[in-house]
Amino acid sequence: MMHGALQDFALTLDKFLDHAAKWHPETEVVTAREDGSTARIGYAGLNLRARQVSGALRSLGVAQGDRVATLAWNTQEHMEAWYGIMAMGAVCHTLNPRLTAEQLAWMIDRSGAKLLLASADLAELAHSVSDLSDGGSCRVMILGPEAKGPDAFDAVANLAPQDTPWGEFNETSPCGLCFTSGTTGAPKGVTYTHRGNYLHTLKLMQADVTAITARDVVMPVVPMFHANAWGLPFACPAAGAGLVLPGRQADGESLARLIAQEGVTIAVGVPTVWLGLMDYLDATGTTLPSLKRIMVGGAPMAQALMDRIEARGIAVQTTWGMTELSPLGTATPPNSEVRDPRAAGRPAVGVDLRLTDETGTPLPRQRDVEGYLWVRGPAVVERYFGQEESATVDGWFDTGDLARIDHYGTVRITGRSKDLIKSGGEWINPGEIETIISALPCVAQSAVIGRSDPKWGERPLLLVEFREGFSPSDEDLLAELKGKVANWWIPQEVVRLRAMPLAPTGKIDKLRLRNQYCRA
C-alpha cells in the first residue's frame, strides 16, 4: 500500500478495434471483390460486426482457449472473424488455402479446432478438410452475406448479441495459431498471444518501423492466413489508418486499380507482387501518385526491382521477419539513407539479436562478420504449439538464418543455415551465389543446392529460371561469379528450369528441388 499504483490495463487485442471504433469511426476497411466492386465498412461498423461474431461463436459453444479455424483471403469477413474470435478469448487458427486438403486436415487435427469459418469461394476446400480430419468433427460454416442455408455464419451472427465480453482474460492468453510452411520437416505451429501481438503492434507503429499514421491508407498484399499479414490488421486500427484488402487478386492490374481508387499510401508484400505491379505500370503508362512507400519482405529483393520502384518516386522499405517472430524482426526506417535491397535495417527496442558460430556460441565480434542469427523478445516463440520442450536455448531462438551486421547495426540476411553446402570440409553459402545470379537482368529466379559428391562431400548445383527472351550460355552465366565469390564456390553445372517450384508461402521450394535433383 505504501507505493502507489498505475491502472490495470491488459494488453489484449480487442482494445485496438475498440479504439478505432471510438476515435476513427468512419475510417474504412475496403475489400476488393472478384467482380471488381468493393465492400466498405467504417471501424465503428466493423467493431459491431466483430462483436456479433463473438456472440455467434458463444452461441455455437465456443469458449475461451478453443481454436476456431479460418480459411479466407484478405477480406472484411476475415477481419470480422479475426477480431470476433480473438477478442472473446478464442484462438484463431489461420489456414493457407494454397495447401492441400490433406495438409490442412493434418493441421486441424493438431489444433483441435471444432469450427472452421471459410469464405464462400473456399467452401469446397473447407469441406474436404473437414471430411479428411479426424472423424470429420470440424464443422464448416461459410462467411459473407451471400452464404445461405444452415452453414451460413452470417445468419447466426446477424441475430447474435453484441455484448459478449471482450478482453476479460490474462494478456498472455493465446489468440492465434499459424503453422510454418514445413518445406523442411513437418510444419510447426506457432502460437501467438495477445500480449505478444499487442507489443508487436506498438513496435510496428514506431516512426522508425512502419510509421503508420491515421492519415495513411495501407494495403497488405501479404495474407492474413500467414504470420498475421505482418501484423497490419492490428496496426491499422490501432493507428486509425485505413485498410485496403485486395481479396484474392494480387495481379498488377488489380492492385494498380485498387491503389489509385482508394488512395493507398503504403503497400506491403513480397517482391514478386511488386514486379507484377511495375510491369503493369510500365506497360500501360499508369502512375500511382498516392503511393509513397512499398514495404517488402519474405524474400530477397533484387536491385533492379528496387531501382524501378524508386524511379517512380515510391520509397522501398526492406524488412526481415519470420512466422516465429509474429513476424517482424527488423526493418529499414522509412526514408532511410541506406538504399541497399539486401539491408534489412536495425531491430527496434524489444527485439534483440546475436550472432553465434554453428555450435550456438556467441561470436566474440558481433559486427562485420557473418554468423548464425539468434533472436529474443516478447513476440518471439518460446515453445511451439503442442510441444513440451522449449524452442529456445538460454532464452534465445535460433532463426536458422545467416546474417551479417554492419558497424551501424544494419542487418543483412546472407542465407539459411540449413542451405549451407559443405564442400571439402568448408562451408559454401548458396545465398551469396543466388544474390549475384538473381541480380542479373537475364535471370528471373535462381537457387543453389548441395549435391553429394564422392570427392568433395557436396558440390553446389545452380538452378535458374531465365526471364523470357534470355538464354545465356552456362559459361557466360558462371563467369558472373568470378572474382565475387571464391573460385571453389562456383558451381560446375547449371540446370535450366521453365518455372522455379514455389512452396505455398511463395518461397522457392528447395525441398522439392533437392528431392528432384540431388537424390543419390
Q: How many residues bind a copy of itself (CB under 8 A)?
A: 68
Q: Please give the angle made by the CA atoms of 429, 434 and 436, to the nearest 5 degrees.
A: 110
Using CB under 8 A, pick the residue from 131, 282, 310, 352 that binds a copy of itself.
352
User: Stretches 147-155, 188-196, 414-422, 493-501: which one binds a copy of itself (CB under 8 A)?
Assistant: 188-196
- Separation of alpha carbons 52 and 71, rounded Å: 19
CB of 253 to a copy of itself, least distance (A): 31
- Separation of alpha carbons 325 and 346, rounded Å: 15
Is 83 a binding residue for a copy of itself by CB under 8 A? The answer is no
Distance from the Cα of residue 472 to its chain's centroid: 34
Q: Which three cell numbers stand for residue 327?
A: 513476424
Q: Cα–Cα distances in Å, from 314 out to 265, 310, 342?
A: 10, 5, 18
Is 412 a binding residue for a copy of itself by CB under 8 A? The answer is no
Active site residue 422: yes
Closest by Cα among 217, 230, 248 to 71: 248
CB of 83 to a copy of itself, least distance (A): 14
Using CB under 8 A, pick the residue from 42, 45, 350, 457 that binds a copy of itself.
350
- Separation of alpha carbons 92 and 174, rounded Å: 9
Q: Say if CB 415 and CB 342 are below 8 A apart.
A: no
Q: Of residues 148, 418, 422, 507, which has the active-site annotation?
A: 422
Using CB under 8 A, pick the residue from 40, 148, 215, 507 that binds a copy of itself.
215
Q: Of residues 12, 180, 183, 318, which has the active-site annotation?
A: 180
Which helix (H) or strand (E) segment is 411 a member of? strand 411-416
- Amino acid sitting at position 33: R
Is 6 a binding residue for a copy of itself by CB under 8 A? The answer is yes
Cβ-Cβ contacts under 8 Å for 313 (sequence gap 6 or more): none
User: Stretches 179-187, 217-225, 343-351, 415-423: which one binds a copy of itself (CB under 8 A)?
Assistant: 343-351
Span between the terminal Cα atoms of the chain, in Å: 71
DSSP structure string for 308-341:
HHHTTT-EEEEEEE-GGGSSEEEEPPTT-S---T
User: Stretches 33-41, 160-168, 349-357, 490-498: which one binds a copy of itself (CB under 8 A)?
Assistant: 349-357
- Separation of alpha carbons 126 and 146, rounded Å: 17
Q: Of residues 272, 392, 427, 465, which has the active-site annotation?
A: 427
Site for a copy of itself in 53-72 (CB under 8 A): 65
Nearer to a copy of itself, 144 or 176 (CB): 176
Is 199 a binding residue for a copy of itself by CB under 8 A? The answer is yes
Nearer to a copy of itself, 196 or 329 (CB): 196
Nearer to a copy of itself, 388 or 468 (CB): 388
Closest by Cα among 304, 248, 244, 247 to 274: 304
x/- map, 15-54, a copy of itself, by CB under 8 A: xx--x--xxx------------------------------
User: Stretches 292-300, 304-312, 375-383, 419-427: which one binds a copy of itself (CB under 8 A)?
Assistant: 375-383
Active site residue 180: yes
299 burial type by CB count under 10 A (0-12 exposed, 13-18 middle, 19+ buried): middle
Using CB under 8 A, pick the residue from 32, 50, 95, 238 that binds a copy of itself.
238
Is 376 a binding residue for a copy of itself by CB under 8 A? The answer is yes
Q: Say if CB 115 and CB 157 are below 8 A apart.
A: no
- Separation of alpha carbons 414 and 505, rounded Å: 20
CB of 287 to a copy of itself, least distance (A): 24
Distance from the Cα of residue 175 to its chain's centroid: 17
- Separation of alpha carbons 219 and 245, rounded Å: 6
- Give the dihedral sign, CA 390/393/396/400: negative
Using CB under 8 A, pick the residue from 109, 121, 151, 208 that binds a copy of itself.
208
Active site residue 488: no
Using CB under 8 A, pick the residue from 141, 239, 268, 481 that binds a copy of itself.
239
Is 267 a binding residue for a copy of itself by CB under 8 A? The answer is no
Give the other-Cβ count within 10 Å of 38's Cβ. Answer: 17
Is 8 a binding residue for a copy of itself by CB under 8 A? The answer is yes
Nearer to a copy of itself, 45 or 350 (CB): 350
Using CB under 8 A, pick the residue from 166, 225, 397, 466 that binds a copy of itself.
397
- Separation of alpha carbons 161 and 303, rounded Å: 53
Nearer to a copy of itself, 25 or 457 (CB): 25
Q: Say if CB 460 and CB 433 are below 8 A apart.
A: yes
Q: Which single residue is written with the C-alpha cell 468512419?
A: 26
Give the other-Cβ count within 10 Å of 516's Cβ. Answer: 14
Site for a copy of itself in 152-181 (CB under 8 A): 172, 174
Q: Which single residue is written with the C-alpha cell 486500427?
A: 237
x/- map, 304-333, a copy of itself, by CB under 8 A: ----------------------x------x
Q: Of residues 80, 324, 434, 458, which has the active-site annotation?
A: 324
Using CB under 8 A, pick the residue from 346, 412, 459, 514 that binds a copy of itself.
346
What residue ranges bind a copy of itself (CB under 8 A)? 1-9, 11, 15-16, 19, 22-24, 65, 91, 112, 172, 174, 189-193, 195-196, 199, 202-203, 205-208, 210-215, 238-240, 326, 333, 346-347, 349-350, 352, 376-388, 392, 395, 397, 409
Q: Which residues are catalytic?
A: 180, 324, 422, 427
